[in-house]
Structure 1
């Protein structure tokens, strides 16, 4: 909370200063021009303050400068071009240049192409930058991240971006860029994230984009693209989120959709001109969390295979020409939070099982031939089939009742309790579809109060976990890896690899990650009820028998998904009560995949019996967990 202005002569009395960190305070005023007299400066971090005035044009005299952070201040620029770039061309060791979220409102000069080829990170989002992207930017061949989003850039995307062979993240969304998507972008073989949303781009989506094997996040939404969707995108094996919504795309969805092994969790094709039916093969995307095909010209029936999308939370098929009945298989989607089937030509009885008991009339409006409960504002069904369905269900569950009656009764009571509690909740709006959270290091510093010990919630072999609160009010858990610890980097890489390929309600969710040369962390959802270990050995907290039983079911569901719910088996290797977290509803989430193993089918068969830490290997750990929980309960 330091405030005030920097001394005008700061550069004179600190001639040997090499690193200056003043971020996340309330400093104001201008940056003293004397700072260039501290000629040994290699790092300047002034982000997240209230500095005003211009960025000193003499900053380039600091020839040893490697990292420069001016983000989130109130720097302005009086000229038409950002001429301090010309000065920075003298800094041949410059690796990081960040001045995002300042009201600069000027043009990028051509001299940007003369910056050091050592530059790896260039962030200038949210600065009101005008004009075109200079073609010389392609000279910065070592760039790994380029952020020019949320500006007022126009003109076309320069083809020279194809020279950035090391680029991993390219953010150009929320501008006024025109023309087509250059095929030269397909040369970027290390590209993982491509954001071109909310521009004025036109033309086709080149099939070569699907040949970028490293691509995981592709956002081309809110443009005027006109073409069919390339088949190469449907056979892509690394794509996690694909958003092509709000364009003029045409054609049918191919029969091959969902047939390839893919970690896709988000698919948004809404507000286009797609036609034909929804292929049944779409059920192959078993990790899919969000699916929107709304506002198209799709027809035919809703495929039963949608019931295979076991992780689905959002399903929007509204504003199409779909007909036939609503598949009963959708009742099995236990995590479905938002459903919209309105403005179609559906008919028959609306299912009442599963999550359907929480949906309102807004999910089914303008389907004149649907029938169901009065609360759904449709006609009542003539043929009552509830009794026959109940009798059929009893036929299948009666042998189970006869053998494990106590367990079934407990499960029934638990589900009834949770269903009544959820029915009393106020309906909420669905989460923003396919929105990826990017969190900067400085936001994490602010969120955790500079990783203060008061926010420490756990320690492990490779690092620590802190509670934090992001700028949008969301509570998160920040797992910071101790890079001095042997194996920490490997643990971080393993956990990233596992978490990018899995999606299940009983596994802890990753929100984002943050890395730089000296820092590695994972940003995950914060679970307020702590770990199972805390509850089992606490004198103040008590778990009921039903809660203990549900925790067992949740952990078993997570293990079953890891072992058999996806093409590549994953073995946790460190399952124990401290790695089972509980959310606000006491639902269990398995966490900490730092020593997990990912196996091919044959390797999985050969090594299942010899994995992990002795005492915690599956299924032995499952038995230990059962005995431990039930022993505590009886005690």
Structure 2
């Protein structure tokens, strides 16, 4: 690294890198994008980062970093995105420069931080060093214990006041902010959705409907209400609860709470303001450029990697499709709808099921034999990749008999002719040869993921590496003005 002269983008996220972050990185003044998230880095954030005058995006989340946030970061003129969440940082959050535009999302999961209350932290005081240590000890150990007791007591009181609604608070870590400890009554859901009015309806799925709602504190949520008249609705609710209570990842839709009684079942979920990938692909009012499409597929790949490898027992989504990929206000993709997900138990790589996913996206062995494995999700992912580049649904009328989207693309000697016209118009002006190389790489990845035989499909870790490489190539050429 010491021999490098210049660097524009660096992404080492989602590895097992340990030790301190090298201060040498701070010498690359041309660096505009730095992502070291989801590693095992420890120690301080290097003061030399304050020398990265061209830095626009910095992500150090999900590490073991400690110490204070360097005040020198407040002097970076172009910094517009910062994520330091889920570390062990302490001290005051700077308030000047770019920090005036950041929100609490940048600092979640750092209990010892203080500063402006808009960051979701307490105001700073000036205690002695001993007093500060006592405060940190209280925040780290004593307060969570007391908070847990208060939450449990409040839950009991709530259940007595609302006997019709049995509230389940899913097993989220106690170090998360208090917003994750919502206890929501049936009455609050009714008020927040205007009695589940049709004007608040966001969409319908296989087992129920999703409504936009506003909680009593102003939080906007999505309320998934199960249609209990449908066969399998109870099982779908139980499966989704079982899966979601055990997982937490940036690219999975977060569950805030659940509410159930003999006549009612609902999941209260994180609201996604930009809707589904399906909407963005097929609505005339929206359009995604190539960087956005690839970024979304990076997010989805990271979610699948977490589901397949981040648990003691792998989770298979079983119904991955554009309608179940939701986009937040920053266009970050989140995978949702785990109503038919399967947990592979007892060290099994494959399980059987009678519940099928969506036609066009389900793997051949899943559709014909009911055999489910992590490779089933890989197949669905590959089909979505092909769909995003061609803007052709696998259920399009042109795909009949033996002709499916994969076979259609394989049969074409010149695949560029089936690339989405809208995508080509957006990318007009970029280097043609470079764009064809990128698109060919995406086609190749989609075809390898959607192989007919499960054993011939890529592993999700290889998918993450390849789609990340494509994204970095795109970002690198964008920064060079190509």
| TM range, smaller chain | 0.3 to 0.5
What TM-score do the two structures reach when normalised by structure 1? 0.36
More helix as a share of residues: 2
Q: Which has the larger radius of gyration?
A: 1
Between 1 and 2, higher relative CO (CA 8 Å, sep ≥ 6) is seen in 2
